[in-house]
A and B are shown apart, each in its own frame.
Chain A
Amino acid sequence: SQTIHQWPATLVQPVGSPLSLECTVEGTSNPNLYWYRQAAGRGLQLLFYSVGIGQISSEVPQNLSASRPQDRQFILSSKKLLLSDSGFYLCAWTDRGRNYGYTFGSGTRLTVV
C-alpha cells in the first residue's frame, strides 16, 4: 500500500536560519508531488509541485525552494527563514493522469522565532 512520510512534525527555527523539510512516498512510482502551506485557520496555499525528477513548478514567489532529487522524494528548503515563513507545511502526492484524490502527509508545524 502507498504511504507518505513527512518530517519533522514540529520545528522551531530562528530567523535567518536554513530550512529543510523532507517528504517521501512509498508504494508507488512516478507520483505528482506537492508542497502546501496552511496559515492558522485558513485554507491551503500551493507552494510547489513536481511531475517528475528535477521538475519543479513554483506557484508563489517567496523565500522557499523545492527539489526532487529522487522519484519519491520531495524537499522544501530555505536558505534564510523569515518570520512570515511560519505555518503548517503539508506534503501530498497523487497518481499522475488519473482522477484520484491526494494523499497528504501528517504535516510539519514550523515556527520561526
Chain B
Amino acid sequence: SQQGEEDPQALSIQEGENATMNCSYKTSINNLQWYRQNSGRGLVHLILIRSNEREKHSGRLRVTLDTSKKSSSLLITASRAADTASYFCATVLVSSGSARQLTFGSGTQLTVLP
C-alpha cells in the first residue's frame, strides 16, 4: 500500500498564484522528500526534510512537516507556467535502515495557466 497520499490529486491555478500540495503518511519516517516529474520524464529531487525539522525553504519552495499529524505540505510561491508538472511526496521509513528505500505517494498534477 502507498505510504504517502497527496492531496489534491489535481490542481489548476493562474500564473503568479501560490500552489499548495499536501501529503499524509502512515508510519514513522526518517525523512520526507518532494519530487517533480514533467510528463514522460524522470523525477527530479526538490527538497528533503528530516523528521526533526519542521520547515524548510529552497527558492520558491517551502515545505513543512508535522510528525504528530503525519503530514507535510509543499508550497510553491509565485507559480510559473514552467512549474506545470506532477509533484510527489516520498518517505524514507525509520525501519528502512541503510537501504533507505523511498515509498511514493500517488502525486498531485499541477497545471499553471499563463
Contacts from A to B (Cβ < 8 Å): 6, 32, 34, 36, 42-46, 49, 51, 57, 59, 88, 90, 92, 94, 96-97, 99-107, 109
Contacts and interface: CB of A to CB of B under 8 A. Distances in A.
Given A32-B99, A99-B30, A99-B50, A107 B42 contact: yes
B68 interface: no
Contacts of A103: 45
Secondary structure call for the B interface: strand
A22 B95 CA distance: 29
A81 B100 CA distance: 29
A99 B104 contact: no
Contacts of B31: 99
A26 to B, nearest CB: 16
Given A103-B45, A104-B43, A109-B40, A42 B102 contact: no
